[in-house]
Structure 1
Amino acid sequence: MFNGLSAFPLTPLVNGNVDEKAFTALIETLVAAKVDAIGALGSTGSYAYLSRAQRARVAQRATAAAGDVPVVVSIGAVNIDDVLRLADDAQQAGVSGVLMAPVSYQPLSRDEVYRLYERVSQAVAVPLCVYDNPATTRFSFDDELLIAVCQLPNIGSLKLGPLSGTRAEASARLQALRQAIPETITLGISGDAHAAAGLLAGCDVWYSVLAGLFPHAARRLSQAAFQGREEEVARLNAELAPLWALFQRYGSLRPIATLAELSGAAQPPCLPFPLRTLQGGDREQLAALLSGSALRPE
């Protein structure tokens, strides 16, 4: 479940309500593409904008449509009681794992983050993926804290952000983490523009926004990286460079939602108000990318 290619799809909305037909179609596409896992209600899935009832329903629809493909659902929320209720809802829906970033209105300290994961890890019965996402949470894990959290029960994976330094330095960091945490815990990379570098450095899993809409394109890149075919990785990454540039500028949600609208996978406007998909020249750039070969299916 926490290995290979983990696809994080949108949760398309219509007037603030989940478009269950469109969402189910996205899940069915991922199943047909044989992704290794599905990450419903991630940041790309707009979980923070949805009510508990909406999130529970999305979890139910995801597991129902996913069949044998493992589903991991985000349970992040500001209030700990909400986190625990969301965890219960997700587990009742039959998820294989849960994902949590340390979401908070007030900036959290290292001790507070540890206590949060301590509380949640003891309350869940499925593996928990720890998400280091400072762009959203304004909290950055250091490796000492990651190692400490990994000693807690029910931790299944670390979802890391872009790895800094040279590949040798990134590989050394991953190796040091592996030596300090239980061998059952995998190391994953997020931030699609930097995913290939993370996989080449030794990450076990790509937590991918791209795969949530274009699983075949993500599979081509991930397989090349896992197999160490560096020239092919460079070529595929170059083809996707316009998308990576927009991810860097706007974050991944708006560009991928724009592509969902342009491809017909979601009705516009598909994002929670007041968020908007890209317009003008950026939208035209994505339309051109969509008509090219980089995002082609198999």
Structure 2
Amino acid sequence: MISTVGMTRIMPLMEKLESLLKDDKLNEWAVGTIDSDRVFVNSQASSESELIFCFVPLYNDPFLIVISNLIEQCKRQGFVDESVLQIQNYLHSRVGSILAFNWLEREIKFEVSVASLQVQLKAPVMATSPQLASRLFQKVLEYNLRKVSVLQGVSDDLLGLIDSKDKTIEYLSENVQELGGERMIAKWAPQGSYNAKSLERYSPPLELLQCLENSDDIMKVAESLLKLKPHFRNYTRSPSKSPRKRYRDLGATNLTSRLQQDQTQSTVLSPPDAQGPKRAVSDSPSKRQKFGKVKVTKK
């Protein structure tokens, strides 16, 4: 489906792409779709009336399209000066938000909504040279390695935080039961309820385990990471850590062994240090009633 275009058009485009590479404009990529296939997309507005879209599919060679006749395409659909200018300004400032595309024989088409205006744009697909394809693959790989590094740090932080909270819940639960609070726990977390599930130890999401199981297939890992993205959409790294502690080396921790250990081994909570201060039972009748009758003996 990918066609080649005349050299008179290709050469200036290659020069523009070289300039984009030199200026680090192709360092950031988004995940888009062409029909139902996922692709990495980098979109650039090289001028007010020219748009460049670079596509790197998971299983095929990179290719690109150039919208160089934006004004002409808008006018052919009945838009006049003011509307054309509005569409131009929108595309120039938000070209990176266009992520849904479709095949139309040897062309790529997409639709843009600007206020109450809807315009369809299309352009022929252009193949890339082996040298350019190699550089685009390199840029996508660098981008994904940065994201993987962030996800590694997020996973480490979350697993550590969850493990700490699980131990705290187990400790508090055991102490409440010792004070006669079994009925209170049973009332708050009856069997099969959401609250009862929240008292269980955490197990990693299935997508993360599948990502690790498929670690020999880079494409399956990429797809698994895309599925994991919503889990960490609102995650913020703790600002309290020093830059040295926030820095994550991909080889520093073995996430696979850590997850397998969490799956096969249940951590037993150790009681507080015997040398530390012990918690005294409150003499307040109102607090005692929450845990049933408690017998307090005085020495």
Instruction: Settle same-fold status: TM greater than 0.5.
Output: no
State TM-score, norm by structure 2. Answer: 0.21
Greater CA radius of gyration, 1 or 2? Answer: 2
State TM-score, norm by structure 1. Answer: 0.21
